[in-house]
Amino acid sequence: MSKPVRTRIAPSPTGDPHVGTGWMGLINMTLARQHGGQFILRIDDTDRGRYRAGSEQVIFDSLRWLGIEWDEGPDKGGPHGPYRQSERTGIYREHTQKLIELGKAYRCFCTRERVDELKAAQLERKERTRYDGHCRDLDPGEVESKLAAGTEHVVRLEMPAEGSVVVQDLLRGEIELKQDNFQDQVLMKADGFPTYHLASCVDDHLFEISHIIRAEEWISSAAIHKVLFDGFGWEMPILCHMPLLRNKDKSKISKRLNPTSLLYYRDAGYLPQGLTNFLGLMGWGGPKLEDGTNQEIFTGDEMRQHFELETLSLGGPIFDLDKLRYVNGQHMRRLPVEEYARLVKEYVLSDRLLAGIAPLLQERTETLGEFAVKADFFLGDVSHVSPETRKKKDPKDWEPVEKLVPSKRTREETWFALTIAQGALEQVEPWTVAALEPACRALATEEETGWRAGDLFMSLRVCVTGKSETPGLFDCMAQLGKPRCLARIGDALQVLGSPSKKAIARWEKSRRQRGGD
């Protein structure tokens, strides 16, 4: 390659890091290591409305657990810092002014009310919603007058009014993005913070990034980024849009069908080398063997030695938990017995874990031998169907475990109630007893689920513990942690089975009438 390889990921500190972030990190790090280049971690924290304190450290910890290490970043520094976008706002303002001077961007003084009215009118006419360029050709004198008066405004990028934008993609070749899908994109918000598009392009240039490797959902934004790079007169990095990870039903990976938090896999006892091996299989398949097949089980060093970015398949790789368990098991069996014993002790009998569980179980055990039986749902997996039932191929034939569906309630009603609960619990921060209890009690209302607290809490208890008798529900949830609780609710929803589209539509209508969101 003609220039040094410098790759990056730019996660947002808005919650638990997604397994897709781990996948992108693995691919970007592997390419950089292959070519003796650098891998950079940049924090995209310009969306202050969604920012969550503490998420940045969680990103650091979970990526490092996975074995992903960066050469430059917020916690390491480097020659291109700062590495938090919120600390680079002065840089973005300077570049915004440069674009305005070059005639590539303009100040837009349209109020939120006007933009909303424009959108409503376009929807009524069944047109694509987009900004109409009202301020694009304002008289310079009017602009200066509004600025002098302190009129609130944003800065927009001038996108082509006709034709198309063509970008080159390492995996997909030439991609033509047509003008019909463009609008004059906001670059600088009224609060003085840049949008993702401006901050990302400016940083990728100033950080000397050679390859932008990201998910295919960003293809539609590639035209904006190409116009920005061209507007500044910069060379655009090599683009590589990766296929999206998919559920078994080929839908985009989601919390509904798969745990998506990296923390879940750490807390559920997966080995980092097992998860990285599994992620390495996604789209690539593993090192080629002499007989033409792929080596399925491999180490990080073997991946770095044999990985070829250009050979990735564009077919959406299936994130199959059964396959992950198999791969992880293979790495388990490769461990020396002493190492396996150490890891089991660290996972099951760590001082941190025991300190959290002991107060919950001390009043519920008569002998020390009972501890393991009563603590099993803290230490291992939970199944919402019996092993005999799970042997049936069709999930519709699976019978949920005890009291997951309360008496006088149906599987369908339980699915609806737990779906509402799952959505509400995703928003709970911090994940503490003090925050969980009011959030759950708010769900046991006519407006939300229409369920009494007793029935709803029993279903939640069985979801997260697999048992109907445990220490306090909120104590158990707090100790288990958010990723595992949400994953177990998701497992229960799969066992219950999704209702028909007509049933879901009726439920949504009924909930709106009750006053639920």
Closest by CA position to 429, among listed 60, 19, 14: 14
Report residue 344: phi and psi, to 5°. -60, -45
Distance separating alpha carbons of residues 102 and 224, to the nearest angstrom: 17
The pairs formed by 201-207 with CB atoms below 8 angstroms and a separation of 24 or more are 201/225, 201/228, 201/229, 201/232, 202/91, 202/92, 202/95, 203/10, 203/42, 203/85, 203/88, 204/8, 204/237, 205/229, 205/232, 205/234, 206/80, 206/91, 207/6, 207/8, 207/40, 207/42, 207/72, 207/80
Burial of 302 (C-beta count, 10 Å sphere; 0-12/13-18/19+): middle
The tokens of 361 are what?
Answer: 């179980």
- Alpha-carbon distances, residue 118 vs 122, 128, 131, 189, 350 (angstroms): 6, 11, 8, 19, 58
Q: Which of 76, 104, 119, 255 is catalytic?
A: 255
Question: Are 182 and 221 a contacting pair, CB within 8 Å?
Answer: no
Residue type, 138: L
Q: Do residues 228 and 198 lie in contact, with contact meaning Cβ atoms separated by under 8 Å?
A: yes
Helices (H) and strands (E) in the chain, counts: 22, 9
Q: Are 428 and 435 in contact (CB under 8 A)?
A: yes
| Positive or negative: CA dihedral 6, 11, 17, 19 | negative
Contact 490, 264 (CB under 8 A): no
User: Does residue 153 contact residue 107 with C-beta atoms inside 8 Å?
Assistant: yes
Q: How far is CA 331 from CA 66, 385, 448, in A?
A: 14, 27, 45
Question: Quick check: is 374 catalytic?
Answer: no
Cα Rg of the chain (Å, integer) = 26
Indicate the SS3 state at residue 409. coil
Q: Are 238 and 309 in contact (CB under 8 A)?
A: no
- Encode burial over 74-104: b for 16+ CB neighbours within 10 A, e otherwise: beeebebeebbbbebbebbbebbeebbeeeb
The SS3 call for residue 254 is coil
Active-site residue set: 255
